[in-house]
Amino acid sequence: MKIGVFDSGLGGLVITKAFIDTLPQYDYLYLGDTAHLPYGEKTSGRILKYTLDAMKWLIKHDCKLIIIACNTATSICLRYIQQKFIPAEAPDVKVLGVVIPTVEVALAGGEKHIGVIATKATVESHIYQTELKKINPNISVAEQATPQIVPLIESNDFSDMEKVLEDYLLPLKNVESLILGCTHYPLIKDYARKILPNCHIISQDEFMGEKLADYLRRHPEIESKLGKHQKQRFFVSKINPQAQLIAERLIPHILLEQTTLLSQC
Ligand code: DGL
């Protein structure tokens, strides 16, 4: 049984690398739905349809534990998947997201003015604001959609990134901490730290490995079922030479393989 990692594209490879670096002993299966990227601009119905197809694919390929690394898919679909889809379709599979671990890290920092940058769908769901305020109603949360960033990263174009990010971060210049609420954004964390030097930049690649390790320590009934052969395979629903180049930048020597999801048939 493997650990499945799902993202709408290649950005989730950054989170997968964090898992592999922290927990190299397990078997991982990555699925990036590059055929339908970007999710952040789509309706909730579309995002749910594509994410459910991805869950079915990962379950069919023996994933016992699935991490939805995509913030957008977590925001829109995780509750439905955990409460309805999994109990009906695969009750022995666990599905986790990235929002709650990120909220825990943000609140542990103690800052009271928290900014979030994410896709349009994540921002419109207000999931970060809701979850942060559920635990601490006294904090202020400013959310900013940053739709230009993912297409630039997926096309490996960083030439204007600092300028684009500077414009997005202007309204957030007074926040004390900033959640980079998208799988792709660890790749721009250095720009964010340069633009907001006094702000605590919360980047998911820096803690998701430890969060997964902690989860597995607390759930030996799942941990004991996971294969430990250090096997890793990385699938995408649409491949091109550019995708392979970007993937190699994120995980050296990676081999991307192509698969077809139900929604492409
Ligand atoms: N992977 C998505 C996320 O973490 C962003 C990319 C997209 O729009 O599909 O929110």
Domains and CATH numbers, the chain: 2-97+207-264 (3.40.50.1860), 99-204 (3.40.50.1860)
- Catalytic pick among 63, 77, 182, 199: 182
CA distance 153 to 33: 15
- pLDDT digit of tens for each residue in the chain (265 aa)? 999 999 999 999 999 999 999 999 999 999 999 999 999 999 999 999 999 999 999 999 999 999 999 999 999 999 999 999 999 999 999 999 999 999 999 999 999 999 999 999 999 999 999 999 999 999 999 999 999 999 998 888 899 999 999 999 999 999 999 999 999 999 999 999 999 999 999 999 999 999 999 999 999 999 999 999 999 999 999 998 888 988 998 999 999 999 999 877 7
Residue nearest to atom 2 of ligand 1 (CA): 70
CB 152 within 8 A of CB 163: no
Q: 159 Cβ partners below 8 Å, 6+ apart? A: none
CB 182 within 8 A of CB 117: yes
* Distance from Cα 224 to the centre of ligand 1, integer Å: 31
77 is annotated as an active-site residue? no
Quickly list DSSP for 18-76: HHHHH-TTS-EEEEE-TTT--GGGS-HHHHHHHHHHHHHHHHHTTEEEEEE--HHHHHH
Predicted TM-score (pTM) of this structure: 0.96
Among 10, 13, 37, 204, name the best residue to mutate to test ligand 1's pocket (greatest count of ligand atoms within 8 A of Cβ). Answer: 37
182 is annotated as an active-site residue? yes
